[in-house]
C-alpha cells in the first residue's frame, strides 16, 4: 500500500533526524572546546546524514501534493502513528536548527576573537617594523685597542 511506503519514509526520516540531533549535541561540546579537527570529522559525518535526509525528502515529494484525507490507510492507528511521527520529525528538526544556530554563534565569537588577536599582532609588527626602519644607523664603533 502506498501509505505503508509513506509511513516507512517518515520513520526513516525520524531515524536520520535522531542521529543528526545526537551529532548536533556533540558538536556543541566540540565547538566549546575549540577542537577544529574533531569538528571537521563530525561535520563530515553530518554531511552523510544530511545526504540521507535529502534522499528521504526526495522520496517524500510525491506525497506532498496528495490530499491527506484521500489516502487509504491500513488502519486509523497507523495513520495516527504516522502523523505523530511526522510531528516528532518537525520537533527534532526545530531542535537541530536551534543547536546549529547556537554553534554558529559560538564559532562567530571565536572567529572574531581570533581576528582581533591577529589584528593586534599585525599592529605590533607594523609598529616594530616602523621603529626599526626609522632607527638611526650608527657607524660602527671601533673597540679595538692599539695597546
Per-residue confidence (pLDDT) for residue 122, from 0 to 100: 67
Q: Give the pLDDT score at 80.
A: 95
pLDDT value for 138: 57
Q: Angle, to 10 degrees, between the axis of helix 76-134 and the axis of helix 2-33?
A: 30
Q: What is the pTM of this model?
A: 0.73
Helix, strand, coil % in the chain, rounded to nearest 5: 85, 0, 15
pLDDT lower than 70: segments of the chain = 114, 122-124, 127, 129-132, 134-144, 146-147
Please give the pLDDT value at position 47: 96
Report the chain's C-alpha Rg in angstroms.
30
- CB distance 43 to 79 below 8 Å: no
Count of helix runs (H) and strand runs (E) in the chain: 3, 0
Burial class (CB in 10 A: 0-12, 13-18, 19+), 111: exposed
Q: Render pLDDT for 43-63 as a digit per residue (tens, 0 to 9).
A: 999 999 999 999 999 999 999
What pLDDT sits at residue 32?
87
Please give the pLDDT value at position 107. 81
Amino acid at each position: 500500500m502506498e501509505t505503508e511506503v509513506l509511513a516507512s519514509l517518515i520513520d526513516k526520516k525520524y531515524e536520520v533526524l535522531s542521529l543528526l540531533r545526537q551529532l548536533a549535541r556533540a558538536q556543541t561540546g566540540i565547538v566549546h572546546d575549540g577542537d577544529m579537527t574533531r569538528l571537521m570529522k563530525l561535520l563530515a559525518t553530518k554531511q552523510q546524514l544530511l545526504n540521507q535526509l535529502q534522499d528521504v525528502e526526495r522520496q517524500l515529494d510525491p506525497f506532498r501534493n496528495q490530499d491527506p484525507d484521500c489516502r487509504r490507510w491500513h488502519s486509523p492507528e497507523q495513520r495516527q502513528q504516522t502523523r505523530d511521527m511526522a510531528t516528532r520529525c518537525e520537533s527534532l528538526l526545530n531542535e537541530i536548527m536551534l543547536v546549529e544556530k547556537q554553534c554558529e554563534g559560538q564559532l562567530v565569537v571565536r572567529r572574531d576573537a581570533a581576528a582581533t588577536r591577529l589584528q593586534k599582532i599585525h599592529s605590533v609588527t607594523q609598529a616594530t617594523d616602523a621603529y626599526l626602519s626609522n632607527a638611526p644607523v650608527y657607524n660602527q664603533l671601533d673597540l679595538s685597542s692599539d695597546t
